[in-house]
């Protein structure tokens, strides 16, 4: 119920405080998760850096050992040629050549063993790095899902499961940008549950919560996919209706009002009469959001003053 009383101001302040705390809590949670992820990424990147450094060292060692192997091979070949030139007998030549060939064979085997060890170590490091990269990709995807889920939760009202005021603040500017660009009609409607305090006082806050959820679902299930509905705070809802002229808008909101009034709400077997009032305003050339919102708010106040359970639109000329 729209009344300018200290209790309503306190309730509004409480709603705003709860919204801020909820957003702050979610932001802190996301920040903590993101910091953990960055720490994990840092560790992975350090591992990659170490891997690349080790590979560079391995390549340098391979190059050095390859040069040493070539030098040893060249020396042994020279020794064989020298033995051939200096040999005085076939037996002595055979013995010397065989010895040098054995030495060459040992060098070749040593080089092969060294290369096999290096290959196995490199392969193990590559496999380890591949596993770490796959794990990091998986963690990245998981973090994306968490962030998307957290962002979605931050934009939705926990009780009614419809968009909240934060979501409305984002959507209204998008709709205004489209309205300015294409000059298509755009209407704003503010809804307020009639005598909601009486429901809480008579049946308790659980009954009030059920009323809020019921009305939210009745409204959101009855609008077009291009329309937008959010819980604005307390027992207030706000609706954006793009592409609808004033007459069409009034017909639509009045049907919604009638649907809520005749929904036959019950709580613990008791019939509870619920109704809702609505103030509507359309965007006109030169309008600001504040002006349109103020007209809709005044229209809502007039609907309450006229007896509730009705929809009122105030034209721009009444500003």
Active site residues: 235
Task: Give the three-class secondary structure for 223.
Answer: coil
CB 246 within 8 A of CB 187: yes
Nearest to 173 by CA among 249, 224, 240: 240
Distance of CA 282 to the CA centre of its chain: 33
Task: Give the three-class secondary structure for 278.
Answer: strand
- Each as own residue / partner, the long-range contacts of residues 294-303 (CB below 8 Å, 24 or more positions apart, any chain) are 294/319, 295/319, 296/188, 296/189, 296/190, 297/190, 299/190, 300/2, 300/190, 300/191, 300/192, 301/2, 303/277, 303/278, 303/279
CB 283 within 8 A of CB 179: yes
What whole-number distance in Å separates Cα of residue 43 and Cα of residue 319? 62
């Amino acid at each position: 119920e729209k009344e300018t009383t200290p209790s309503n101001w306190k309730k509004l302040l409480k709603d705003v405080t709860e919204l801020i705390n909820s957003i702050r809590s979610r932001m802190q949670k996301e920040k903590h998760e993101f910091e953990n992820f960055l720490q994990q990424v840092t560790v992975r990147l350090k591992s990659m850096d170490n891997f690349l450094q080790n590979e560079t060292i391995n390549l340098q060692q391979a190059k050095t050992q390859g040069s040493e192997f070539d030098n040893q091979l060249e020396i042994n070949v020279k020794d064989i040629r020298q033995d051939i030139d200096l040999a005085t007998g076939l037996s002595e030549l055979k013995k010397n050549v065989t010895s040098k060939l054995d030495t060459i064979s040992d060098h070749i085997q040593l080089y092969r063993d060294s290369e096999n060890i290096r290959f196995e170590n490199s392969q193990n490091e590559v496999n380890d790095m591949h596993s770490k990269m796959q794990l990091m990709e998986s963690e990245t995807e998981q973090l994306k899902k968490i962030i998307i889920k957290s962002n979605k939760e931050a934009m939705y009202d926990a009780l009614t499961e419809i968009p909240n005021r934060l979501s409305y603040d984002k959507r209204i500017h998008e709709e205004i940008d489209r309205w300015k660009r294409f000059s298509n009609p755009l209407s704003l409607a503010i809804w307020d549950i009639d005598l909601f305090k009486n429901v809480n006082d008579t049946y308790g806050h659980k009954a009030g919560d059920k009323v809020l959820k019921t009305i939210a679902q009745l409204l959101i299930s009855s609008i077009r996919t291009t329309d937008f509905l959010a819980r604005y705070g307390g027992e207030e809802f706000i609706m954006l209706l793009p592409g609808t002229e004033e007459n069409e808008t009034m017909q639509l909101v009045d049907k919604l009002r009638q649907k809520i009034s005749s929904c036959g709400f019950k709580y613990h077997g008791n019939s509870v009469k619920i109704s809702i009032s609505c103030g509507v305003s359309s965007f006109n050339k030169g309008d600001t959001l504040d002006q349109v919102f103020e007209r809709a708010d005044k229209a809502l106040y007039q609907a309450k003053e006229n007896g509730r359970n009705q929809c009122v639109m105030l034209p721009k000329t009444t500003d």
